[in-house]
Amino acid sequence: MKLFLVIAVLRNQPWAYPAFIGTFAALIVYQTYRLTHELSYLLVAITVLDLAVLVLAWHEYKFLRSSKSPMAPSVRG
């Protein structure tokens, strides 16, 4: 699922960003739940990495939405 969404986001599919953000948020919640039962430094590292990717995707999605708004000026070279 993650790989499919990563590929869709890399291809700039607008529908993929909310799905990507929701999937990663759910995964981070699950990983945090797992960490409350058993501490694993590898899982901590993966969770931090997933959180960083989630934040970057969120910023990219906000940028994508603002650049496609009707009030945004178009840039042509």
Q: Cα–Cα distance between 38 and 50 in angstroms, integer?
A: 19
Whether residue 46 lies inside any domain: the answer is yes
Q: Answer yes or no: pTM beyond 0.85.
A: no
Domain count, the chain: 1
Whether residue 71 lies inside any domain: the answer is no
Whether residue 76 lies inside any domain: the answer is no
The pLDDT of residue 15 is: 87
The pLDDT of residue 66 is: 86
Whether residue 60 lies inside any domain: the answer is yes
**What residues make up the domain containing 46?**
2-12+19-65
Whether residue 27 lies inside any domain: the answer is yes
Whether residue 73 lies inside any domain: the answer is no
pLDDT one-digit tens code per residue, 15-65:
899 999 999 999 999 999 999 999 999 999 999 999 999 999 999 889 888
Whether residue 77 lies inside any domain: the answer is no
Whether residue 50 lies inside any domain: the answer is yes
Q: For residue 50, which of 62, 58, 61 has the smallest C-alpha distance?
A: 58
